[in-house]
Amino acid sequence: MNVRGTSQSCKQIDVQALAVAVFKGERPNSGFLKDLDKQVGGLVGNVIQTEEFTAKEGETAYFHLPNSGLKAKRLLLIGCGERDEYRAAQISQMAGTAARFLRGKNHQRIAIAPRAAGDGERTAQMVIQSALMSLFEPDKYRKDKEKRELDRIIVVIEGADEKALQRGAERGGIVGEAVNYTRDLANEPGSYLTPTILAARARETCRKFGLTFDVLDQKRMEKLGMGSLLGVSRGSDEPPKLIVMKYAPKRAKRGKKLLALVGKGITFDSGGISLKPGDNMELMKYDMSGAATVIGTMRAIAQLKPSIPVLGVAPCSENLPSGKATKPGDVLVAMTGKTIEVINTDAEGRLVLADAIAYAKKLGATQIIDMATLTGAVSIALGDVNTGILGTDQVLIDGVIAAGKEVGEKFWQLPLDKEYSNQIKSDIADVKNVGGRKAGTITAAAFLKEFADGVSWAHLDIAGTAWGDDAKPYRAKGPTGVAVRTLIEFVERSARDQAS
């Protein structure tokens, strides 16, 4: 995909179609919209005056331009709602809607004019990454899948710094491709993405982009005493893997800080002996979305080259029932020596994360962000709008939330008071892996907290936001790649803070 940023006038851009943001209540009687309306013979003013197009968020108006002052032969107006509410999320949705709509019209070369004030480089990045994200389709295995593709996307911000726009466009290409790579992993059927295959995909990513790679097999995990992770894998014939990826900058400042991203990699989750209902169980291929997020984020970090080291850890396993599987009532011994009573084998994500968090600490991590499709309870609490976030370090939590706001992803902090830990006390072991029906998302985090002591830690429950049940004008249904953009932004902010 060829991506570019330009500060030229829209009328000079030689593309097949031009997409332009329009705000609610805006009239073509001055400035940019007036000039655009003049170039297209009053078409813009006409649809606004007749209220065929009111510029409410997501609304579109599409024009053929056989004779106009624009080089583009098609014009797409995209409603963006109120101008004072036009922020990262709305810019992203505008760009995604533009690319997705115009690809559907079989255009190969398009330009997008977001009309956003402020930092042109950042706006260009948001436009390009969102446009690329909008092009993802979950139809990889369809013989008759749609073959229309875009070849070139240009983001146009008139009067901006041309070099800054190009930098932003290139960075947007890196981030957008990383998000789509994450989504592709999350969309793979369990038979096509076993722990072994996922480890191979991670290895290839490391080889291609210059990351350090290691993978722990079952024997190495046994030597380290990872009984919690191995207790989950016991029911499957597929061996578990613990993926380790590391980015080390060439010119890192000396310091003792090391950020680790830890992601749950259950490549298929049947629930184990505590078997899930059959309805929609096919979607449990996405239960490795946390691991996919780690791999996709590390892919982008390797290309963007921040000045701080980052560790990526992904514990991978299947969770299946068999004569060898862990049973409710069994006791597992984690890497830390802590004993765990397994009440429900379908609460397996926290079991693999427990040993992965402990291993990240062993590798020197001082700051850990874990992410997992961990609980159905988070969907009940927050739906598919906000990702739940909890942790022990308020500065870290605030940093993640702020990074999310910058890129248009929403996080909502849930409490983690010590009283919730009482719910996971076991009569026969140190802890149990579920705490009852009440506060399920919080007690899952309280369990992880037992293994994150001594480090700055935040937990992202992406169960409600990692999969979109319905298609949007700017996004296909299926995996969303949530949190990749936020984590990249967080890493880059951390690098700037440490450099100052």
178: tokens are 């990383």
Active-site pick, 122, 299, 350, 485: 350
The DSSP bridge pattern shows strands 339-341 and 431-432 to be parallel
350 flagged as catalytic: yes
C-alpha–C-alpha distance, residues 262 and 349, integer Å: 12
The 3-state secondary structure of the chain reads CEEEEECCCHHHCCCCEEEEEECCCCCCCCHHHHHHHHHCCCHHHHHHHCCCCCCCCCCEEEEECCCCCCCCCEEEEEECCCHHHCCHHHHHHHHHHHHHHHHHCCCCEEEEECCCCCCHHHHHHHHHHHHHHHCCCCCCCCCCCCCCCCCEEEEECCCCCHHHHHHHHHHHHHHHHHHHHHHHHHHCCCCCCCHHHHHHHHHHHHHHHCCEEEEECHHHHHHHCCHHHHHHHCCCCCCCEEEEEEECCCCCCCCCCCEEEEECEEEEECCCCCCCCCCCHHHHHHHHHHHHHHHHHHHHHHHHCCCCCEEEEEEEEEECCCCCCCCCCCEEECCCCCEEECCCCCCCHHHHHHHHHHHHHHCCCCEEEEEECCCCHHHHHHCCCCEEEEECCHHHHHHHHHHHHHHCCCEEECCCCHHHHHHHCCCCCCEECCCCCCCHHHHHHHHHHCCCCCCEEEEEECCCCCEECCCECCECCEECCCCHHHHHHHHHHHHHHHHC
Identify the CA nearest to 308 among candidates 365, 357, 263, 264: 365
Q: In what order do the strands lie in the sheet with 152-156?
A: 2-6, 152-156, 109-113, 17-22, 74-79, 60-64
Q: Are 155 and 128 in contact (CB under 8 A)?
A: yes
Residues with Cβ within 8 Å of 93's Cβ and at least 6 positions away in sequence, in order, are: 57, 58, 130, 472, 473, 474
485 flagged as catalytic: no
Active-site pick, 71, 83, 203, 276: 276
As a residue count, the chain comes to 500
Among all residues, which ones are annotated catalytic? 276, 350
